[in-house]
Amino acid sequence: RVRDHCHLIGRFRGPAHSACNLNYKGSYVIPVFFHNLSGYDAHFIIKDLANAYLGSVELLPVTKESYIAFSKLVRDPAAVEGDGGNAACSRCVKLRFLDSFKFVSAGLDKLASYLDESKLTIARSEFRDLSDDDFRALTRKGVLPYEYVDNVKRLRLPPRESFYSSLTGDTVSESDFAHATRVWERFCVKTLGEYSDLYLKTDDLLLADVLENFRAACSESYGLDPAYYFTLPGYTCDAMLQ
């Protein structure tokens, strides 16, 4: 027997027969989830992907402007140099970009509110030194003065009136502004750039917790992992056929 391990990150998977270990073929597709990717984030990501790596971007479109998913094969640079760009699949991974909103169609703040604090394990692992009160403050939905930030010289947290949104025709509530002020002071934020980074990092961690809990619940109920699907309808169709 041999020690079977992941060739991507080196993690030990368990003992295996030598022949089984040699013949094992792991999935080389890595799903990358964005919330509401189809809505507004996809275009600049596709452009950068096309320019950053050799090869084309595979699209699964709805229209010319909206996509269900898109993928890019990323090869090991050493393998590319060694065989002129024809690296075997064992030396490359396919990044598959998916829209988590097509599985859990609600705002991230509402989705996170459905989870007990004990379920926020990914976010908690990143902020393990925070008190429970500070962790709750950080993981509630934050607010950003989107229209206020129109140049790099706007560094300080602005007054409540500057959180005005032309989409809603209103500014944030007093409680939301008080929350923004508390986060700014508690985490010693110095600029709006730092505040935005903390906001985005927390959103990413919450989305990871939401999706991991969703995957666990679906796998337990139906024995199928949603991460292998493009949308929830495709997943539920397979679940029905079991």
pLDDT tens per residue across span 87-143: 455 568 889 999 999 999 999 989 999 999 999 999 999 999 999 999 998 998 888
Range of the domain at 146: 108-212
Same domain, 151 and 63: no
Q: How far is CA 147 from CA 154, 192, 207, in A?
A: 11, 13, 24
What span, in angstroms and rounded, lies between the C-alpha atoms of 24 and 217? 27
What tens digit of pLDDT does each residue of 140-161 get?
Answer: 888 889 899 888 888 899 999 9
pLDDT of res. 85: 47
Same domain, 119 and 95: no
Same domain, 97 and 50: yes
Whether 79 shows a pLDDT value over 70: the answer reads no
What span, in angstroms and rounded, lies between the C-alpha atoms of 33 and 42? 11
Residue 156 lies in a domain: yes
Same domain, 177 and 196: yes
Residue 165 lies in a domain: yes
Residue 17 lies in a domain: no
Q: Work out how many domains the chain is built from and give that number.
A: 2
Whether 82 shows a pLDDT value over 70: the answer reads no
Q: How confident is the model at residue 78 (pLDDT cuts 50, 70, 90)?
A: low
What span, in angstroms and rounded, lies between the C-alpha atoms of 77 and 63? 34
Residue 145 lies in a domain: yes
Residue 53 lies in a domain: yes
Residue 4 lies in a domain: no
Residue 225 lies in a domain: no
What's the whole-number average pLDDT of the chain? Answer: 87
Residue 224 lies in a domain: no
pTM of the model: 0.81
Whether 8 shows a pLDDT value over 70: the answer reads no
Q: How confident is the model at residue 207 (pLDDT cuts 50, 70, 90)?
A: very high
Whether 31 shows a pLDDT value over 50: the answer reads yes
Same domain, 200 and 134: yes
Same domain, 98 and 55: yes
